[in-house]
Amino acid sequence: MAGLLVKRGEHEAEDEQDRCLREAFTVLRRRLQPPFLWIPTSAADHRGLTQALVYGVLTEPPAPARSAHLTHLHATVTDGYALFSSTLLRLTLDAYPRLLPGAKSRLLAAAGELAGVGAAGADLLLISLLRWLEPGDRWLPDQLLRLLTRNHDYLLSQPRLLGAALLRFLRRRGAAELRFCAGLLRRHFPLCAAAAGRDLVRHLQDLAAAPEIAAVWRDLLRREETLPELYRRKTPPQLLLTAVSPDAEKKLRFLLTRVNAPSRARYLGWFARKHLPGHETAELVRFVCCCHHPPNEVLRSEVLPRWMLIGWLLMGCRRQHLAANAKLALFYDWLFFDDAVDGIMDVEPAVLLMVRSLDDYPGLTQSLMEFLILLVRHYDEDRRLGIRHAVANALRAVVRQGVVRSLDVLCGSAAISPALRAGFAALFCEENSN
C-alpha cells in the first residue's frame, strides 16, 4: 500500500505521518467493514481507529454516495470528530503539497463532510487549506469556493473561518473569489467586519477599483460610523497567518529564532528563492510584525532581528506599488494604535528599522519617515486627527517601554533632510515630549 497517500522522491525518507496512518489501517482493516460493531474502549484504541479511518478516507475510492469509512466514522464518533479533524489538520499543514492528487480530492470531500456536520476543528482544517493557495492554482480555490458556498450557514457561524476566507480570497484578486467576498460583504457586513478586523479595510481599499469590490467600498465610505469601529478592531494574528503558507511560516520562524549574523545572507537568499515569488511582501511584513513575537532571550541575542528582516524585504521590492503596500503593512497598526487593544511588539519593528538603518541606509529611514507623515495626512482625511493621535500614542509607547531611548535621533539627525526633520518633529516629536 506504500505510496497511496504522500508522494516521495527516490532518495527521500518515508513520511512519518503516512507511515503511522498506513500501519494503523493495515492492523485494523478487517474491523473497518460494515456493520461497524467494534467500538474503541481506550484512548489508544480510539487513536488507532481514527488513524485507520483517516488513511482509508484519503486512499480508497469512495462509494457513489459516500465513503464507507466516513459512514464508519459517523457511526462510532464519540468526541465530536475532534481527533479525526486534528489528524487531517496535521497532515494538511505538514504534507498537503506532497499529497497525491486523489488524496487531495478526498481530503476536500472529507473537509466538506466535516463542515456539513459542524465537526469540532473543521474550521481550522479549512483555514489550513486556505493557506496552501498558490498563484496560478485554480483547482484548490475553486474547490474551496464551492465547499464554502455549499456550507454557507456553517461559514457564517465560524468567525475564524469567515475572516480567513475573506482576507485570503481578497488578496488573490481572482474574479470568482472577489464575487464571493463581495456577496458576503453586501449581505453580512457586520459579521464580516467583526471576523476580519481592520485589515479588511486595507484589503478593500487596495481593491477599490476592481468592479466586484467598487460598490462595496463606496458603501463602506458612506457609513460614517463603520470605519472608525473597524479601525478599532485589531485583526487576530491567526487570520494574518492565512496569507503565509505553512512552509513559509516554518522558514520565517527559523530565520527569526536560529539564524545568527554570519549566516544571514545565505539563509535570506534561501528563503527568497523558495518563497518570495509566491508571497506578497506586504503579507510577509504583517506576519513578522503581528504573528512572531520573540522572547527576551532572542531579542538580546545575535539572532536575525525582525526589523532587519523587514528592511531586507522592503529593499527587495522592485515595484513602487508593492513597496507602498509593504510600508502600509508595516505601519498599519500605528494608524489606530490603542494601548488597550494593540501591543508594543506590533509597532516595535517599524521604529527600530527607522532608527537602526540611519547610519548605513539613511535613504530607507527617510523613505519610512516620509511615508508615515503622508499616511497621517492622507490615509483618511476625515479622521486625520484621530490617526495623528494614534501614531503619537504609538511613539510615546515605544519610548515609554524602552524600545528606543528617545526620538531625538530621528528628529535631529543630520542624515535626514531638514524639511523632513521639521515635518516629522511638527507631527510627532513635540507631542511625544509632552
Per-residue pLDDT tens over the stretch 376-431: 999 999 999 999 999 999 999 999 999 999 988 998 899 999 999 988 887 765 44
Q: Is the peptide bond before 211 cis (omega within 30 degrees of 0)?
A: no
Q: Give residue 330's pLDDT.
A: 98
Task: Show Cβ contacts of residue 11 under 8 Å, excluding neighbours closer than 6 positions.
Answer: none
Tens-place pLDDT, residues 195-237? 999 999 999 999 999 999 999 999 999 988 899 999 999 999 9
Give mean pLDDT, residues 157-166: 98
pLDDT over 60 (residue 191): yes
pTM for this prediction = 0.94
What residues does each domain of the chain span? 1-91+100-126, 157-234, 244-433
Mean pLDDT of 109-126: 97
CA–CA separation, 303 and 298 (whole Å): 7
Whole-number pLDDT of residue 2: 45
Statement: residue 433 has pLDDT above 80: no
Angle, vertex CA 167, rays to CA 163 and CA 173, nearest 5: 145
Distances (CA, A) of 163 to 170, 187, 251: 11, 15, 25
Q: Residue 114 and residue 108: Cα distance in Å, rounded?
A: 10
| Beta carbons within 8 Å of 388's beta carbon, 6+ residues apart | 376, 427
